[in-house]
Structure 1
């Protein structure tokens, strides 16, 4: 029965973060298809910084981890990155949650629980900055054991890849000339686009060969730059970027597995892109650095490739991939971080002082014209020259 004049009260929105669930145990596959507003549901013990940065870059609404994001074995950086970006992280919901949460369903995160509508389907711990800080303090006790394991794995990697690391055996040939040239290697990261803009002066002056590692190629393309080399799994690079690479004669270097299988190679070849395989067990970032060194680059500048102790340890499988450490030893003084280059290329004269000097010069010219009686004749020309001078000055300072 309806009563005239009465309206149904609108339902109040349920509290928490709502999004479409993207579920996958394989983190790499999940990162390729996740998008803004989605909620990532993964199984990642000791969530690493690189995965967290990729989730932040994808603009996810939230993250649900079946495993503990901080196990206490070492102070990993991923949870801190997510929470600092304002992304809720519900931790340790258990492996069963990956079966309960269906791909493409709408879920809601609130107070450590996962809901479908008003029905709770999983529960864990919602991480906060305070909880993470306390866990990281305890996790530092595990650093000694992790360093020992890292050292053992480094020795094993050197035994397995010593011909590559020591003598460059297995490095593929390239059509792109690198000898005697500077190389800028760009990998994905949350602030890499801004760091790339800070290198505009360096790029104009030295015109380095641009190397995009995986999604780093996408960052270069979005900034209007043309990578000469793309290193990594081609399946993670948009087709339009690969086609643009084919048009300008760029090359793709595809990491190959020990048995020679190179995932994504057929897709690249079908698009008409020149491609070579690089059989090695190192990461795509490390293969890019080894390529630059082996082919005689005079300097290798990096963006998005962090190399501190915590970054070395904060990698997949607790540092079981020690190629980063040995690769950086191999390059030595050739390797420079892009932030240092940006600092060295900043103008020493402030923008304000330069503009003040330009204004003073223009004023002196104007006074000279007025005194000579030619001011009215050249007023329009002077105004045009002034605007052009200002535009040039701003472009030089940028």
Structure 2
């Protein structure tokens, strides 16, 4: 695409330099190379919360979106996250913004984006008020989106009935899961906070740690090693793939697995799991089929709005998967609220012994205590002599 520049008057005095442009059509890929102060140039209809959280963590000076951040299809959560974090958000700039050269300094005047003295594109500068208004209008269309979601759910059930109901197609794995608790980490909503909260639980129960794509890096960053990595391998690091974890590559139903070649190039021979739906789903199905006692979910989708916020019809599979695993599934926040550190019988005995020794030491340090222990010692000697005389007389 050629970049068409239009001569325009210079921005007014109130405008300023945003920073160097970083351009990518895939927001997930862009956030990996964003530096604080960069300008994120994206083409992302209905920015979801996961993408917004990743952008906020990268601390760009602005987010320039070629598409509409709120299309009106449903009340997506991402734009509100961005503006609440104080990040400049300009919407609906059109395809011209995607042709901005990487690294070039951009300036902003209202919704107008300048490259040097030239106007590159013009969109709508968003604020908390404009985003709130757009989300309110989107809520009016929510019923239509729910109907579409229900249709997608039934379609998925028809296509994956054998997998959901009978576990047909679940591959064999070497990681022992039967009878154990499993912690599945998705790099989604508040995953860092949830992992930090679950640290005592993980230390004590030693659950099987399964990272879904980038969730494996989250496990490593928290100081643990994943037992298994599940996904299409598009957002997980080589460090995680080489950590010794068992690798399960999520493939399409026709057997094509885009991430397979990458894993094999690292010298790792993975397990391939062909299935419709998301990698999050197959991780849960795998844990359930292999006999997990409890499945604790970190960063996964739990509410209807979160399912819709993922922005794809395949999220219907996550809804059905949660029904499939049933009572085994516990959200991380529920575990952190219910979990209490267990005190073992040995710990109770040691605590009691420590208390008893403290009392003895305190008594021994007093004259009365020394007299008491002297009397007890004399009585014990008398008892020992009496028991000895019984055995001597019997001899």
In structure 1, list runs of 5 or more residues that go unmatched: 1-12, 350-356, 375-398
SS of the residue corresponding to residue 205 of structure 1 reads helix
Pick the structure with greater CA Rg.
Answer: 2
CA distance in 1, matches of 2:187, 2:30: 16
TM-score (norm 2): 0.80
Deviates more, 1:26-35 or 1:59-68: 26-35
Aligned residues: 348
1:21 CA displacement: 1.9
Are the structure 2 counterparts of residues 202 and 117 from structure 1 closer, same or farther at C-alpha, using a change threshold of 3 Å? same
Q: How does 1:33-48 map to 2 (within 5 A)?
A: 33-48=33-48
Q: How does 1:1-398 map to 2 (within 5 A)?
A: 15-16=15-16, 18-99=18-99, 101-189=100-188, 191-245=190-244, 250-317=245-312, 319-346=313-340, 368=363, 370-371=365-366
CA distance in 2, matches of 1:162, 1:32: 37
Deviates more, 1:274-283 or 1:187-196: 187-196
> Any conservation in 1 of the 2:215–2:236 contact (CA below 8 Å)?
no
Are the structure 2 counterparts of residues 300 and 115 from structure 1 closer, same or farther at C-alpha, using a change threshold of 3 Å? same
SS of the residue corresponding to residue 244 of structure 1 reads coil
1:68 CA displacement: 0.9
> Any conservation in 1 of the 2:111–2:122 contact (CA below 8 Å)?
yes
CA distance in 1, matches of 2:368, 2:131: 74
> Any conservation in 2 of the 1:32–1:236 contact (CA below 8 Å)?
no
C-alpha distance after superposition, 1:148-202 (max 9, x if no partner): 1111111111112222222222222111011111100011136322221211221
> Any conservation in 2 of the 1:214–1:231 contact (CA below 8 Å)?
yes
SS of the residue corresponding to residue 339 of structure 1 reads helix
1:369 CA displacement: 6.2
CA distance in 1, matches of 2:68, 2:191: 28
> Any conservation in 2 of the 1:54–1:190 contact (CA below 8 Å)?
no
CA distance in 2, matches of 1:312, 1:208: 26
Q: CA RMSD in A?
A: 2.9
SS of the residue corresponding to residue 291 of structure 2 reads coil
Are the structure 2 counterparts of residues 96 and 348 from structure 1 closer, same or farther at C-alpha, using a change threshold of 3 Å? same
CA distance in 2, matches of 1:254, 1:31: 23
Match of 2:375 in 1: none
CA distance in 2, matches of 1:204, 1:18: 45
